[in-house]
Structure 1
Amino acid sequence: MSEEKENASPQKICQGCGEALTGENDSEAHIIPNALGGRLKPKGIICQTCNTKLDALADNALVKAFGDWPTLLDLPRDRGKNPPKLIETRNGRRVRLERDGSMTAVNVVYDVTPIADGHEVHISAGDMTTFRQLLRRAEKEFPQFDANQAEQHARTVGIEDGDELRMGLDFSPQGVFGGVTTAIWLYLIHTTGRAFMDWERLVAVIGAMQSHGGTFRYMVEGLPGLKGPDIPIGHKIIVRSVPMSGQLIAYVEILGVLRVGGLFADARGPVDLVEHIYAYDVLGKQDRSDEFTIDASEFERQDWKQTGVAPTEGEQLRALMAEAIQATFETRYRSRFAEASSGQEVLGKSAK
């Protein structure tokens, strides 16, 4: 056997279907989805087909759980830009939100009101093309109506005072626990080189987690024992064993708001210490893993079946989540757009 063949790396296979990974079918497995600002994307783990299956099983729901916030905050992505979003306000209007923070009302209005000397025509639209179409409609309906003059007098107006965007989040187990499980599975393969469960088991665990939460809980205050700097909008993945008990604890934090973790595996007996820490500053686009450590005494004295808030504790969980969102997302949003207007629409008004 030649020295070149003897030193060659073994062929990597997909951890999903078992097929050999090649330059054509290998994929960048974003451990935390690209749409949520994830940058850790190892290759050599799963093929493109299985990566797409993981998206359908769990990651798409995780992205959807964060609603329109990635665009509202314009989170830096590994590839592509945050897409524009159509959002409703609390007063029932619809606006188009762009990643630069600009908002344009898209409600189409064509109202005709009889008045003493004719009719008042109220026209509004979210773009000039639609606005001009409505002007031509009015011109046909009312020969005295001067569409060109009306367009010259068109103006932009803001969304009504006191109106607010309806921004939803879905941090239920159905929305996020599957994606959290997938992130841990991919991360452990990336850091250890082996899968802690095969594909069939992974699919079953994802379903169980989404159904009732399994052994995971919401750690709204963060992972006990984790020490490091404050990263307001960041990602963390922590996997650590409790050597005396044999428990393996996993924790995932996404964008500094969603914090989920708990018992991931249990050897039911003493094990060697396992510790993996990943921390990423999304806005600063910087890996800051080396700045974090775990206080062993605080970590190992936890009752991991009781630490955090259970999915069934709905009222307490909603209150804690609201505080976290206000402290993180709303603060970031207000700092971006303190001087920005709340939204615009094209509006024309003429009487005949």
Structure 2
Amino acid sequence: MKNCYVCGCELTKANQSLEHIILNSIGGKLKSKKLLCKTCNSKFGGNIDDKLAKQLNVFANLLNIKRENGNPQSIKVLDEETNEEYIIEPGGKPARSKPLVKITNDGNEVKINVTARNIIESKRILKQLNKKYNQINVDDWLKNAEVKSNPISNITLHACFGGKESFRSICKTAVDYYLCTGGIQKFINHLIPYIDGEIDLNVVNFYYSKNNTPKFKKITHSIIVKGDKKNKILYSYIEFFNVCKFIVLLNGNYTGKSFIQKYCYDVIKTKEIKDNKELDLGLDEITSSLNNNDLPYHRIEEEFGKFLEFWTEKTTKEKTDEIVINAVEEMQTKFANEKFITEEMISFLSDKVAREFVKLVCKRNEHQSSFTDKKPSP
């Protein structure tokens, strides 16, 4: 058995842990039981990994990432016109954060307006109101209820990337991958106090190449670790959701063998794929990137824009498929006694699909989402 690379204890069946090299919260499937003990894994999960997970949740939420444990967290947003709070549920679906009950007096009449998120919630609210206003007939109210889409006018998704804790988590990801692919621990021992929060090191920063990336055809997580014997450097490039990109200097006086290890995971198709990225950096370029204190707002915004374009196309296709399936099922129910396809059935199906598709297009045009990246707290 191996030892925990942080505290040095021997890993046994009793204390070994399953370390997700790429966080489970963002759909990571790359993992190992030969890296950390339960104590160290739990400690890092609660003080650095959770910070990175929260920052990347906006991507996991919109894509409704498939995880081993639980679902992506909902995101709280504000309708900028009405100042009402909503949540974005996994998959990018907007919903009210809480039901809305408006009670007004109009002369001798009391007017009650209830806006709920579903029928069950409506029934619960109406039954509570009935205790005070016993003239309420719950069944009659529900019969007259209107089903409407969420009327959000304009929202802004706020996200914050980077910061000391998140950078430590990213460094741990690079170290995890290096060690699980056969790396020698002595070359990364100096990073353990940094990952553990005992010291500060300038070894992680955002990294965006000068070359602009094309439109996204897939969304991936990538890790590359390269050992360069000639230039005596050991470093890693890490990329989450095609958008958040980082460089990690693992060792600036590397004396081991030259090698390169690559891992790339398609988060939509949930499978490992071939990574064609090239990585050939010198120590000067890496050091320059690490010393650059200007956050790459514009590059992150550009990449996030491509991510949103990919997400919009993906959700539109999914919604279109759903419209067709629902319309066919409704047609089959309505014309259950028909043995052959009739002109009336074709007309019904065409009209139903066309109407729902127009609603979908109008809905897309009404909603405007933008991205704001903030400087992380120190």
Deviation at 1:62, TM superposition (A): 0.9
Please say which of residues 251-260 and 149-158 is displaced more in the overlay: 149-158
Matched, 1:70 2:60: yes
Structure with the larger helix share: 2
Deviation at 1:36, TM superposition (A): 1.0
* Kept in 1: contact 2:79–2:153 (CA 8 A): no
Matched, 1:281 2:263: no
Task: Assess, with a 3 A threshold, how the Cα gap between structure 1 residues 144 and 260 changes in structure 2: closer, same or farther.
Answer: same
Matched, 1:90 2:75: no
Give 1:220's aligned residue: 208
Give 1:80's aligned residue: 69
Deviation at 1:88, TM superposition (A): 2.2
Please list, as runs of the form range in 1=range in 2, the aligned pairs for 1:91-240 lying within 5 A after superposition: 91=80, 92-116=83-107, 118-160=109-151, 162-164=153-155, 166-174=156-164, 176-195=166-185, 196-198=187-189, 201-205=191-195, 207=197, 214-221=202-209, 232-240=218-226
Output the CA distance in 1 between the equivalents of 2:216 and 2:312. Answer: 19
Output the CA distance in 2 between the equivalents of 1:301 and 1:194. Answer: 20
Output the CA distance in 2 between the equivalents of 1:13 and 1:55. Answer: 19
Task: Assess, with a 3 A threshold, how the Cα gap between structure 1 residues 301 and 75 changes in structure 2: closer, same or farther.
Answer: same
Question: Counterpart amino acid of 1:85?
Answer: S
User: What TM-score, normalized by structure 2, do the two folds share?
Assistant: 0.72
Give 1:35's aligned residue: 25
Task: Specify the SS of the correspondent of 1:20.
Answer: coil
Please say which of residues 332-341 and 253-262 is displaced more in the overlay: 332-341
* Kept in 2: contact 1:234–1:279 (CA 8 A): yes
Give 1:326's aligned residue: 305
Unaligned runs of 5+ in 2: 321-359, 365-378
Deviation at 1:303, TM superposition (A): 2.3
Matched, 1:265 2:251: yes
Deviation at 1:34, TM superposition (A): 0.9
- In the TM superposition, what whole-angstrom CA distance separates every residue of 1:220-258 from its partner, at most 9, and x where no partner exists? 238x8xx9x976411211122343331222211112111
Task: Specify the SS of the correspondent of 1:322.
Answer: helix
Deviation at 1:181, TM superposition (A): 0.4
Task: Specify the SS of the correspondent of 1:126.
Answer: coil
Task: Assess, with a 3 A threshold, how the Cα gap between structure 1 residues 102 and 217 changes in structure 2: closer, same or farther.
Answer: closer
Deviation at 1:29, TM superposition (A): 1.2
Q: 2:288 aligns with which of 306, 309, 312?
A: 306
Q: 2:15 aligns with which of 25, 44, 49?
A: 25
Task: Assess, with a 3 A threshold, how the Cα gap between structure 1 residues 308 and 181 changes in structure 2: closer, same or farther.
Answer: closer
Q: 1:55 aligns with which of 13, 29, 45?
A: 45
Deviation at 1:201, TM superposition (A): 4.6
- In the TM superposition, what whole-angstrom CA distance separates every residue of 1:140-177 from its partner, at most 9, and x where no partner exists? 4334433321121112222225233x433221223531
Deviation at 1:44, TM superposition (A): 1.6
Output the CA distance in 1 between the equivalents of 2:91 and 2:239. Answer: 26
- In the TM superposition, what whole-angstrom CA distance separates every residue of 1:260-288 from its partner, at most 9, and x where no partner exists? 004331118x7642322222222222323
**Taking every aligned residue pair, what percent have the same amino acid on both sides?**
19
Task: Assess, with a 3 A threshold, how the Cα gap between structure 1 residues 332 and 274 changes in structure 2: closer, same or farther.
Answer: same
Matched, 1:255 2:241: yes
Task: Assess, with a 3 A threshold, how the Cα gap between structure 1 residues 101 and 146 changes in structure 2: closer, same or farther.
Answer: same
Output the CA distance in 2 between the equivalents of 1:19 and 1:295. Answer: 35
- In the TM superposition, what whole-angstrom CA distance separates every residue of 1:31-73 from its partner, at most 9, and x where no partner exists? 1101112111022221222111221232111101113331221
* Kept in 1: contact 2:94–2:150 (CA 8 A): no
Output the CA distance in 2 between the equivalents of 1:146 and 1:234. Answer: 53
Output the CA distance in 2 between the equivalents of 1:230 and 1:335. Answer: 11
Task: Assess, with a 3 A threshold, how the Cα gap between structure 1 residues 302 and 193 changes in structure 2: closer, same or farther.
Answer: closer
Output the CA distance in 2 between the equivalents of 1:187 and 1:86. Answer: 30
Residue correspondences, number: 316
Task: Assess, with a 3 A threshold, how the Cα gap between structure 1 residues 274 and 84 changes in structure 2: closer, same or farther.
Answer: closer
Task: Specify the SS of the correspondent of 1:263.
Answer: strand
Unaligned runs of 5+ in 1: 1-10, 344-352
Give 2:329's aligned residue: none
* Kept in 2: contact 1:108–1:125 (CA 8 A): yes
Task: Assess, with a 3 A threshold, how the Cα gap between structure 1 residues 293 and 67 changes in structure 2: closer, same or farther.
Answer: closer
Output the CA distance in 1 between the equivalents of 2:279 and 2:9. Answer: 41
User: What TM-score, normalized by structure 1, do the two folds share?
Assistant: 0.77
If asked which structure has higher relative contact order (CA below 8 Å, sep 6+), I would say: 1
Give 1:348's aligned residue: none
